[in-house]
Structure 1
Amino acid sequence: MATINPYLNFEGKTEEAFNFYKSVFGGEFTVIQRFKDMPDGDKMSVDDQNKIMHVSLPINGNVLMGTDTLESMGQKLNVGDNFSVSVNTDSEAESDQIFNALAVGGEIIMPLEKAFWGAYFGMLKDRFGIQWLVNFDYNEK
């Protein structure tokens, strides 16, 4: 059964925001990755390399996740739509079913594919303008 968690986007303030959320809710980060950790990350500016690519903070059985947007990668943050709904599935087949159903009448931003961090992952905006991240993590199964 799929789980759903919020995914927040910030303009260079993800680390500050998540340290704040950690002080409010407690707990520890289960993942914190910087852009320098991705393939070819060393080719980015030093400033971009040190920004947060992905962070996860478990909160009472849910997970608050986030990232920094990078203008150098063509990303633009618009306050008010700087979040996505992350769906974590139990299989590639469930990912395909959910992704394809949400994509009807919408816009595929990144097709489902095997990602370098060990997941089957895709991004889309549904016909109502809601951004979705669909993810099956091979490492958790």
Structure 2
Amino acid sequence: MMNGNGKEVIQFYEKALNAEIISNKILGERCENSDYPIPAEAKDSVGFALLKLGDSNLMLSDSHPGQPHQVGNQVTICIRTENNEKTKQVFEALQDNGQVIMPLQKTPISPFYGIVTDKFGVMFQIYTDIQNKIE
């Protein structure tokens, strides 16, 4: 999670890590049908980017409006599941003695998506993959 400098980060990683940009959606494009209006000043922020680094994927976005940026939370573990039941199971297991940051809900990128910090302070994004691929 970046603090409004996601575009700069993408350009830096593309050059420094020889990363291939697979996807780069701005927040205004990615969430335009959301039930939560995006403030005008945030619409040009990175909503979701996927970079390919060898055999690994790096996903990043700018912090969404209303979610404070906190140093130390820039890196999160993403868990992608194949169905909503598995997403719910993993989310509920991780929230035990942890903190729900964003409850499981439908989003423009997934039918079931949530963010939770586990009891050890590790932040996770858990989501159901729509088509077993990321656009």
TM tier, smaller = 0.7 to 0.9
Query: Is 1:134–2:126 an aligned residue pair?
Result: yes
Match of 1:44 among 13, 28, 39: 39
Structure 1 residue 27: deviation in Å?
Answer: 4.1
Q: Please give the secondary structure, in 2, of the residue aligned with 1:81.
A: coil
TM-score (normalizing by structure 2)? 0.82
Structure 1 residue 40: deviation in Å?
Answer: 5.9
Task: Report if aligned partners of 1:114, 1:120 keep a CA contact under 8 Å in 2.
Answer: yes
TM-score (normalizing by structure 1)? 0.79
Identity %: 23
Q: Between Structure 1 and Structure 2, which shows a larger proportion of strand residues?
A: 1
Structure 1 residue 51: deviation in Å?
Answer: 0.8
Q: State how far apart, in whole Å, the 2-side matches of 1:81 and 1:27 are.
A: 22
Q: State how far apart, in whole Å, the 2-side matches of 1:136 and 1:79 are.
A: 27
Cα deviation per residue 1:53-91 (whole Å; 9 max; x = unaligned)? 111112222211111125xx2222222222211111222
Q: Aligned AA for 1:26?
A: N
| Number of residue pairs matched by the alignment | 130
- Consecutive aligned runs of 4 or more in structure 1 exceeding 6 Å deviation: none
Structure with more contact order per residue of length (Cα contacts < 8 Å, sep ≥ 6): 1
Gaps of 5+ in 1: 1-8
Structure 1 residue 43: deviation in Å?
Answer: 5.5
Gaps of 5+ in 2: none
